[in-house]
Amino acid sequence: MNTAANVSGPALRTERFAALREDGLADQRLEGWFDAVKFGFHDAKADPVDVARYAESYDLDARVLTAVYDDTVRPGVWDPAVPVATYATMQNTINIGGGVLLPAHLVTAVTVRATHRRRGILRRLITEDLYRAADEGLALAALTASEATIYGRFGFGAAAFGRTVQVDVRERFGLSVPADDAGGVEVADPDLLAALGPEVFARFHARTRGSVGRQSSYAQVVSGRWGQHKPEPDRALRAAVYHGADGAAEGYACYKFAGWDASPRAVKVVDLVAATPAAYLGLWAYLGSIDLVERIEYPLAAVEDPLPWALRDGRGYQVTGEEDTLWLRILDPVTALQSRSYAGAGSVSFEIADPLDLAAGRWRLTAGGGEASVEPLAADAAVDLRLGVEALGSLYLGGTTAHTLAAAGRVAGEPGAVARLDRLMALPERPYCITHF
């Protein structure tokens, strides 16, 4: 792939390309593209050797990279090979419940240089990209947002949330682990997680609504082959694996000591993946038993985390932050809504407002027996509810309720119709996503 087009004026040039060329070498544009991404996210400039490693990983993900260049000649301006805007996409699956892993269009590495804001660059990039994804037959687009004010205007809604927690593991720590749990935890060589980690995650992904399939770099990071911010060995990383009664690996945790200068002394969890509830509690029992540590810090706990309920003293569990972990954008409401499962039965009609007109229209949702059908209605048909496509994205996985969005002014309609939509779309637990992309 190698395409070029003008965007937002004759001096701006857009190119889309893959990380690796056909000869297997990194594309010559990749180093400048990385410089722009690192600049946008305030990270140190990438080493050229690192770029080559990233290129191989990106190729495994089949990422499509986009760069916008400013060809205006001006003295003293940064290297023109460094784009003024970046954008990247790849495909992976999202667990939408009911055992369904739905292919989705994932958006990442979005930057626009401060000197080139308000020229419509991002609007053009994301609009054309979402149209392209819809044309390819994808029903969902997703991203993780570094700034919450940007993506709602393009139809994305916050769909899953996570918590940052601190757990006191001094004398007060103790778990009420079921007596019949025949599993156990063993310290592991992190390198083994290069192969074992994706296998465990696949089991977690299959059972966890809201989970997003992981890109190839995760296996490198959890194995210690790469650090979290640089593709070189992380020798400080430690790992533990939970094995079930049959000896199969059902979970793992990789973690790092925060250092002797930290007060209180803490261990920071880099990644914790549990395919079963027993594995989750078993790994926490191990983390809480590590010597010379007073606190465990975990940045991706579920909103409905069972851990505080399993602790003998739940006050040792402190939530220090909560934020959105996944944003969804409905591209095809028929496919998206007919693919998920439904606990309720009945019917409700609604109008979707969409700034890009991808999902706009009036529709009737009829559910029963765990499934649903979606029927398009005439443009002048009476409907029970009105909502934006971003609100539908927030409702889709059960991250919030129509009642809550109606109270916030995001869903309009009679209370009875709002309650009916909630009954149709209700799900037993909140979505949970532990994948950054």
Q: How far is it, in rounded angstroms, from Cα 422 to Cα 154?
A: 24
| Annotated binding residue 124 | no
| Annotated binding residue 112 | yes
User: Which string of DSSP letters, residue by residue, matches 405-433?
Assistant: HHHTTSEEE-HHHHHHHHHHH--SS----
Question: Which residues, in sequence order, are CB contacts of 238 under 8 Å at separation 6+?
Answer: 187, 190, 254, 255, 256, 257
Amino acid identity, position 359 = A
437 included as an active-site residue: yes
How far is C-alpha 90 from the chain's CA centre?
12
The 3-state DSSP class for residue 21 equals coil
Cis peptide before 264 (omega within 30 of 0): yes
CA distances from 174 to 14, 168, 216, 353 (A): 56, 10, 36, 50
| Annotated binding residue 120 | yes
Catalytic, out of 201, 350, 396, 437: 437
| Annotated binding residue 146 | yes
Catalytic, out of 34, 69, 87, 151: 151
CA distances from 243 to 175, 208, 278, 281 (A): 18, 19, 10, 12
For tokens 């229209």, name the residue. Answer: 361
As a residue count, the chain comes to 437
Helix (H) or strand (E) holding 92: strand 85-95
Helix (H) or strand (E) holding 280: helix 277-287
| Annotated binding residue 119 | yes
Q: What pairs with residue 165 in β-bridges?
A: 298, 319
CA distances from 261 to 76, 258, 264, 265, 287 (A): 43, 8, 9, 8, 20
| Annotated binding residue 210 | no
Q: How far is it, in rounded angstroms, from Cα 397 to Cα 403?
A: 15
Write b or e for each residue in 135-173: b if 16 or more Cβ atoms lie within 10 A of its Cβ, otherwise e. eeebbbbbbbbeeeebbbebbbbbbbbbbebbbbbeeeb
| Annotated binding residue 110 | yes
| Per-residue tokens: 343 | 């606990």
CB atoms within 10 A of CB 186: 11
173 included as an active-site residue: no
Binding-site residues from annotation for acetyl-CoA? 110-112, 118-123, 146-147
Return the active site residues. Answer: 151, 437
Binding-site residues from annotation? 110-112, 118-123, 146-147
